[in-house]
Amino acid sequence: MKFKQTHISVGVMLALASGFALAQQQSLEKVVVTGSSIKRLVDTDSALPISVISAEELRATGVNTAEGALAKIAASQSMTGSSQTIGSGTGGAAYANLRGLGANKTLVLLNGRRVASFAFSSAGVDLNSIPFAALDRVEVLRDGASAIYGTDAIGGVINFITRKDYQGADVALSYAKPQDEGGVKKGWTLSGGFGDLERQGFNLWASIDRQDNERIRAIWRDFAATGVIPDRGLIKTSGTTFPANLSQGSISGNPTLAAGCKPPFSLPLSATACRFDYTAFIDIVPDTLLTTGLVKGTAKLGNTYVSLEHMASKNENTARVAPDPVTGLQVPITSPFYPNTFPGLDLTKPVTVGWRMIPAGARTSKSMVDAQRTALTAEGNFGDWDYRAGLLQATSKGRQAITDGYVNKSIIAKGVTDGKLNPFGEADAAALELINSAKINSDYSHAKGKTTSLDFNVSGSVGRLAGGPIGVSVGTEYRRETYSNDTVDEIVNNVPSLGASAYHVGGSRKVTALSAEVLLPLHKAVEVSLAGRFDKYSDFGSTFNPKVAVRVTPVHGVNIRTSYNTGFRAPSLDEIYGPQSITYTGDPYNDPLLCPGGTVAPGGVASRDCDQQAQLLTGGNLALKPEKSKTFSLGVAFEPVKDLTASIDYWNIRITDSISSVAEQALFDNPAKYGNRYFRCKDLPAATQALVDRCQGEWVDSNALGYVKSLNDNLGGVKTDGFDLALGYGFKSTAGQFQVGMESTYVRSYQYQRDKGDPYIQNAGKYVDSSPVLRWKHAVTGSWKQGDFGANLGIRYNAGYDDQNAVEAMYVNRVKAYTLTDLALSYSGLKYIKLTLGVNNLFDAKPPFSNQGTTFQQGYDPRLSDPYGRTWTMRLSAKY
């Protein structure tokens, strides 16, 4: 059997062997493979490392979203996707992250063309907008492709490919129930189509998919129920608690501290004040409702196929976090709740308090994003030349709302000043009525991204070389992108805990491109591919990026391949024009001036300046420059024995002028270097003071730290390299048909600079700043089929790593390796019906403990582990 590396399949989530079975069933035809614009025979070996994931096999194992599919890719540095990230402003998006380089360097395509970037962040595509029920397969190019698709394809390309045509009808129902509380998933899909494209000259089909996922509260999982595990280096609390902490000049504390505060949420973790364990209030997985659909009509007109397709998706995400922390409140001496017995107070002056609004309940926010995409395409041939053309318009439109728990600060402040609200005691009926009247239920942000493009490509052959015909391709593309993001100012100005400032921003750009590719079969065993792309940006000038790839087959069954390319990524519109907002840090810090090393200095206030979440100014930067990259790969794929395939590829990526913001950890680790980014209350204009919690009341003109500036910037370089390994084996016996496979990624090194000129920091296998880069990830898969019965087994592995260890003196943790095992059994003996029963996380592996403090979730890292636990799954499908 010839080795067909181009069609290596991930099998039952990555099983290579199934790709060979698929390739054997297909007739030899010319197709366009991801990573090239030249059509070639489907059994032609490729010079590029490509994985092909069968959507049908993914569905059989309980995967029902594009995000779930990407979680199975070893080259991806996210296991569960970012839709489990909670908190206002996230929008419920899920992003691809190949090589750990970020969503802004992973190009996501649908049928070879772009999808609109997420409304609230034009730097990446929300995977939730991809219509999973309509997919035929997912092709993952683990190599840069700037010369083919666009200068931003630095980390790799993920191409979601829908069915070409469809006849008949099918319906499917799915249900997943964790054995622990919460997290139930219910879904249904419906697809149907008619018309034989080749015989009748047309085909029309449509699909719709709806997935309803229930939330999981932190208190429903032991590993996530608290942020206070001091003996393991985890103390994630807030200084804004209930009963409230108070301050007056240099005096600070809590009236209930001597009595042990008010557990279980208010705890005596400080010598002078109480601390609030906010983790117990949050949802570690939000409620989500995802609806996607696609309708496509295709007509055959002579040698041309003309298609019109429309995709639509709606993603609703409801997240809950701890009650509103309202700070800077003034309790006057006239208040009946004035703490006149607190030692040391000047009873002629008010006290300043920070009050956790427990009576208002959890802060609840809802994000709703609608994505639309319409594509008119034509492809065919004239003589020996093939052509493809397309007109595309894609939009992503979103709104964010607060639905419960957020309060109008001015109303609460007046209630405290008037003596109607007691920040030190339980609220009576009148107080509850006032608090409820202060709640705000309204949209607070609207955003929209839009992409319009026109492309044309022609390919064919121009003569022959010793190895076959010379393939050529020439293409052009015009693209216009727009972006806007606006707040409802009255809302954000009165709800500081949203972490948003009033803004009305937007921008646009035009991109014109010309690309060319030549395939040179120098010998039947040697193939060279040369490609280049010229892009002209309306805002960043012109750039040319070449790519060269070589495939050598020295002996039958051995395929040596190598490639080199450059990249040029212009900053996204959001990175340039994105709203500048003052928000909270993920971790708590000591003010280096007023509480150095955790010791209060003259002018400092413990409850304000020590071990507190600081505030950051984040957002866009008009001064950004493009990123540039160089990517090299070298690999070999071979077939040592019949039906056993293997490959190993080395990859090396270098990026300069990498775009990001200086990590908050770096800002507070080195205040001497970043001193010019620190802004104190007394130096801020009145309008800005009103947006900063620590610049309220008696602190307006103080030396208190207002915020630290951390806008997007060109920080320096990134250097990463590693290996991809793959194995696949398939065989038949009297016991049935078996297929097994493994795909693995080893990151040898991942180094980056915190700022220009800084030394490189090793991030592989270590939690540095905001996250780790996993050294090892692999997926081992297997499937069996005998008659009407089948089984699928999947094993996913994440290597361990050194934890964040923000409290090193107390405990140094290493996050343990993490393995998930999924099993599914299927029966298709009933007419039209197929039943699949399974269990995800068969051995009920708990997420390994982590003392990271970057996310709202505590006790584990939600980006790299699965909080559902052992989950029973069912899928019932009927196909006619």
CA distance 339 to 422: 10
Cis? peptide before 243, omega within 30° of 0 = yes
- Please check whether residues 57 and 173 belong to one and the same domain: yes
Give the model confidence (pLDDT) of 6-56 as tens digits: 333 333 323 323 333 333 333 445 556 555 656 554 444 556 677 787 888
- Please check whether residues 272 and 185 belong to one and the same domain: no
**pLDDT at 88 (0 to 100):** 44
Domain annotation covers residue 224: no
Residue 74's closest CA among 849, 810, 778, 808?
778
Q: Judge contact between 401 and 419, C-beta under 8 A.
A: no
Using CB atoms within 10 A of its CB, is residue 759 exposed (0-12), middle (13-18) or buried (19+)? Answer: exposed
Strand partners, 386: 381, 459
CA distance 216 to 865: 14
Domain annotation covers residue 726: yes
Strand partners, 783: 739, 792
Residue 126's closest CA among 314, 287, 295?
314
**pLDDT at 30 (0 to 100):** 56
- Please check whether residues 736 and 807 belong to one and the same domain: yes
Domain annotation covers residue 370: yes
Residue 851's closest CA among 279, 234, 229, 237?
234
- For CA atoms 172, 828, 130, 844, give the dihedral sign: positive
Element counts in the chain: helices (H) and strands (E) = 11, 48
Alpha carbon 148 to chain centroid distance? 24
Structural domain count, the chain: 2
- Please check whether residues 92 and 150 belong to one and the same domain: yes
Domain annotation covers residue 468: yes
> Residue 699: phi, psi to the nearest 5?
-95, 0
Domain annotation covers residue 669: no
- Please check whether residues 196 and 270 belong to one and the same domain: no
CA gyration radius, the chain? 29
**Number of CB atoms found within 10 A of residue 642's CB:** 10
Strand partners, 185: 176, 213
Q: Which residues have C-beta within 8 Å of that of residue 556, sequence separation ≥ 6?
A: none
- Please check whether residues 121 and 258 belong to one and the same domain: no
Alpha carbon 229 to chain centroid distance? 28
- Please check whether residues 335 and 449 belong to one and the same domain: no
Helix axes 429-438, 409-417, angle to 10 degrees: 150
- Please check whether residues 398 and 410 belong to one and the same domain: no
SS3 805: coil
**pLDDT at 16 (0 to 100):** 29
> Residue 430: phi, psi to the nearest 5?
-65, -40
Residue with tokens 């584990």: 860
End-to-end CA, the chain: 34
CA distance 141 to 107: 10
- For CA atoms 17, 22, 23, 24, give the dihedral sign: positive
**pLDDT at 557 (0 to 100):** 86
CA-CA distances (angstroms) from residue 271 to 495, 521, 598?
Answer: 30, 75, 11
Residue 699's closest CA among 681, 685, 722?
681
Residue with tokens 């045509």: 165
Residue 140's closest CA among 205, 204, 76?
76
Strand partners, 310: 295, 374
Residue with tokens 């929008």: 91
**pLDDT at 5 (0 to 100):** 34
Return the structure tokens found at 311.
């995709």
Return the structure tokens found at 144.
């840069």
DSSP structure class, residue 70: H
**pLDDT at 26 (0 to 100):** 37
**pLDDT at 90 (0 to 100):** 55
Return the structure tokens found at 159.
């191409």
- Please check whether residues 420 and 471 belong to one and the same domain: no
**pLDDT at 40 (0 to 100):** 54
- Please check whether residues 198 and 251 belong to one and the same domain: no
CA-CA distances (angstroms) from residue 279 to 147, 856, 860?
Answer: 46, 7, 12
Entry field: residues in the chain: 880
DSSP structure class, residue 222: G
Strand partners, 379: 305, 388
Of 389, 416, 439, which marks where a domain is finished?
439
Q: Judge contact between 355 and 323, C-beta under 8 A.
A: no
- Please check whether residues 250 and 271 belong to one and the same domain: yes
**pLDDT at 342 (0 to 100):** 93
Q: Domain with 553 in it: what CATH number?
A: 2.40.170.20
pTM equals 0.88
**pLDDT at 31 (0 to 100):** 54
Q: Judge contact between 322 and 362, C-beta under 8 A.
A: yes
CA distance 594 to 606: 9
Domain annotation covers residue 678: no
- Residues in the chain predicted with pLDDT less than 50, given as ranges, are 1-28, 41-44, 79-83, 87-89
Domain span at residue 432 reads 238-276+324-360+406-439
Of 439, 463, 486, which marks where a domain is finished?
439
Domain annotation covers residue 583: no
Q: Which amino acid is at 234?
A: L
Residue with tokens 């090589």: 99
Q: Which amino acid is at 689?
A: Q
**pLDDT at 260 (0 to 100):** 93
Q: Which residues have C-beta within 8 Å of that of residue 248, sequence separation ≥ 6?
A: 345, 346, 349, 350, 351, 352, 698
> Residue 686: phi, psi to the nearest 5?
-55, -40
Plot region of 341 (φ>0 → left; ψ -120 to 50 → alpha; else → beta): alpha
Cis? peptide before 264, omega within 30° of 0 = yes
- Please check whether residues 491 and 371 belong to one and the same domain: yes
Q: Judge contact between 326 and 420, C-beta under 8 A.
A: no
Question: Per-residue b/e over 466-504, b at no fewer than 16 CB within 10 Å?
Answer: ebbebbbbebbbebbbbbbbebbeebbbbbbbbbbbbbe
Domain annotation covers residue 587: no
**pLDDT at 787 (0 to 100):** 93
Return the structure tokens found at 419.
């003596």
**pLDDT at 20 (0 to 100):** 31
Alpha carbon 265 to chain centroid distance? 31
> Apex CA 144: angle with CA 636 and CA 48, to 5°?
30
Question: Per-residue b/e over 95-114, b at no fewer than 16 CB within 10 Å?
Answer: bbbbbbbbbbbbbbbbbbbb
